[in-house]
């Protein structure tokens, strides 16, 4: 049995891994799982702007109605909107059809529980088990009036817009601020300009005409250089780039330069603390974040909690430690007072609030510290052996760490790759140690 779930739901080539039959069966399995705690027998389904979303959406609706669920289809909306609306509309679950920042030919399915939270690994494992259980799938299919119904609703976009605007301080206005928005021809192409316009900004839109195949194509969070050029040419105050499902934010300053994700996390952590909105004076970042972020936060009496890569692990740390802010250096920023997952629009408005409060240009506001040098290497490998079982590996790591170098080595969850990251203050030593650890790992894993 092949593994379905990855780090963020089920993702793969549309028409292959995510074909109509698999999508329908996945919906049935998820519906059977959610029915254990069903209250309203209602599931909400949204999607981004990929052409394959039509096929997968219809397959998911067929699967859910076949086992008796009523479905609410809301069309293209950001992933965080699905998380919010699942709870707001009192649904038993939410489903988002998106492959986030991937090319248009990929697609994915993300699940949320009735509170708008992403599922635990245990819940995903249970859905996967049901997916492969032919007898259980068969016996749960309904007939006659037991079959569910589907309805498309268009008015929920207003609920989400009001919710996002409520995250912005009511004593502030964006009047007089020029903002360039790159919606990546994705799910935020309607809501993003509406929110910024209603708050008073002068908005310039780029990449806001999705056609089913241009999502993330040379635009959005993956290609902010295009946004930078527009910001510079138009003399805008700031630029925001979203990815295909708008759970990821990249910020461009007034000079057209891209702001590093760790610097964004650091600046917003300090801003929230100054506003009295940072719970327990703590923030969460993944193991990939630069050590300079941790040092900067410590200097500002903020404790940094680290977790595994993936925004669901950020949220797990929130719940465990009682925190409300954090994210990933890639731009998944979570302000838990207003979002259950990374929400690029909430994060963008937090940046604007900081900008208006301190009246500093973005280039200064979001560059509060210098990053330590990092080297990264993705090694193509022939086999995956537990790191602790690789001869000589533990000893070499100890040797590297004695030179004040942070070592992070992990296998890719979806490819035959080993990701190696070294971080320290001396680039020459970093290069030497990267060569040494790379040679050791390649010889052990490709021999």
Residues tagged active-site: 100
DSSP three-state, residue 170: coil
Asked if residues 303 and 281 have their Cβ atoms less than 8 Å apart, the reply is yes
CA distance 32 to 335: 31
- What phi and psi values does residue 24 have, to the nearest 5 degrees? -65, -45
Structure-derived torsion over alpha carbons of residues 374, 379, 385, 388, reported in degrees to the nearest 10: -20
Tokens 């981004």 found at: 48
Closest residue by Cα to residue 119 from 315, 256, 254, 297: 315
- State the first-to-last Cα distance of the chain, in angstroms, to the nearest integer: 28
Task: State both tokens at 71.
Answer: 């479905």
CA distance 127 to 34: 9
Asked if residues 16 and 107 have their Cβ atoms less than 8 Å apart, the reply is no
- Give the CA count within 13 Å in the CB-facing half-sphere of 229: 6
Task: State both tokens at 331.
Answer: 């731009």
Burial string for 17-28 (b: 16+ CB within 10 Å, else e) reads bbbbebbbbbbb
């Amino acid at each position: 049995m092949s593994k379905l779930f990855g780090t963020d739901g089920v993702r793969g080539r549309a028409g292959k891994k995510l074909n109509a039959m698999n999508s329908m069966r996945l919906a049935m399995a998820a519906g059977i799982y959610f029915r254990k705690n069903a209250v309203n027998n209602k599931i909400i389904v949204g999607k981004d702007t990929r052409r394959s979303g039509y096929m997968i959406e219809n397959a998911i609706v067929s699967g859910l109605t076949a086992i008796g669920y009523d479905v609410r289809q809301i069309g293209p909306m950001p992933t965080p909107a699905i998380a919010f609306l699942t709870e707001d509309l009192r649904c038993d679950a939410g489903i988002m059809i998106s492959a986030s920042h991937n090319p248009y030919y990929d697609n994915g399915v993300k699940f949320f529980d009735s509170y708008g939270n992403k599922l635990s690994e245990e819940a995903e494992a249970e859905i996967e088990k049901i997916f492969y259980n032919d007898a259980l799938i068969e016996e749960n299919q309904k007939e006659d009036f037991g079959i569910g119904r589907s309805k498309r609703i268009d008015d929920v976009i207003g609920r989400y817009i009001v919710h996002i605007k409520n995250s912005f301080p009511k004593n502030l206005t964006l009047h007089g601020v020029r903002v360039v928005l790159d919606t990546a021809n994705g799910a935020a192409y309607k809501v993003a300009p509406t929110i910024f316009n209603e708050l008073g900004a002068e908005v310039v839109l780029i990449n806001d005409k999705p056609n089913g195949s241009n999502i993330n194509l040379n635009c959005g969070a993956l290609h902010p250089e295009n946004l930078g050029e527009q910001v510079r040419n138009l003399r805008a105050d700031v630029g925001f780039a979203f990815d295909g499902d708008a759970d990821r934010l990249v910020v461009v300053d007034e000079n057209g330069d891209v702001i590093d994700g760790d610097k964004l996390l650091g600046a917003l952590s300090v801003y929230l603390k100054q506003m009295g909105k940072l719970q327990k004076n703590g923030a969460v970042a993944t193991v990939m974040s630069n050590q300079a972020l941790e040092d900067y936060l410590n200097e500002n009496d903020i404790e940094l909690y680290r977790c595994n890569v993936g925004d669901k692990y950020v949220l797990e740390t929130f719940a465990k430690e009682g925190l409300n802010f954090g994210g990933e250096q890639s731009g998944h920023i979570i302000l838990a007072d207003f979002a259950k997952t990374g929400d690029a629009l909430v994060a963008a408005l937090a940046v604007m609030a900081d900008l208006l409060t301190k009246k500093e240009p973005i280039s200064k506001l979001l560059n509060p510290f210098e990053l330590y040098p990092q080297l990264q290497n993705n090694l193509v490998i022939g086999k995956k052996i537990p790191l602790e079982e690789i001869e000589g590996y533990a000893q070499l790591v100890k040797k590297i760490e004695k030179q004040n170098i942070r070592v992070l080595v992990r296998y890719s969850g979806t490819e035959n790759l080993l990701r190696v990251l070294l971080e320290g203050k001396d680039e020459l030593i970093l290069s030497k140690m990267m060569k040494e650890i790379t040679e050791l790992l390649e010889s052990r894993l490709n021999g």
